[in-house]
Amino acid sequence: MKAVASKLGIGSTETLCKWVRQDQVDAGARPGVSTEESAEMKRLKKENAELRRANDILKAAASFFAAELDRPHTRS
């Protein structure tokens, strides 16, 4: 591993070991979360956060408009 890491210009053999382990997971030879699954989870977490923010905005807007409806209106 040390010789291969050196030839590839990788500073750490641990980095190369992690790449090999991840490749084994991606190939199904080792249990774990594949690169594709990890990317999908990251995308879904981001989407979930965006939807939560949108939901909070809609709740605030609904509260604002509900308060406007409850307020007595005077005509001049």
pLDDT in tens, 30-46: 999 999 999 999 999 99
Say yes or no: 28 and 12 in one domain.
yes
pTM higher than the cut 0.95: no
Say yes or no: 6 and 18 in one domain.
yes
Say yes or no: 75 and 44 in one domain.
yes
Rounded CA-CA distance 26/36 in Å is 8
Say yes or no: 26 and 37 in one domain.
no
Residues of the chain whose pLDDT is less than 50?
A: none
What's residue 24's pLDDT? 97
Domain count, the chain: 2
Say yes or no: 26 and 59 in one domain.
no
Say yes or no: 51 and 75 in one domain.
yes
* Residue 51 belongs to domain spanning: 33-76
Say yes or no: 38 and 21 in one domain.
no
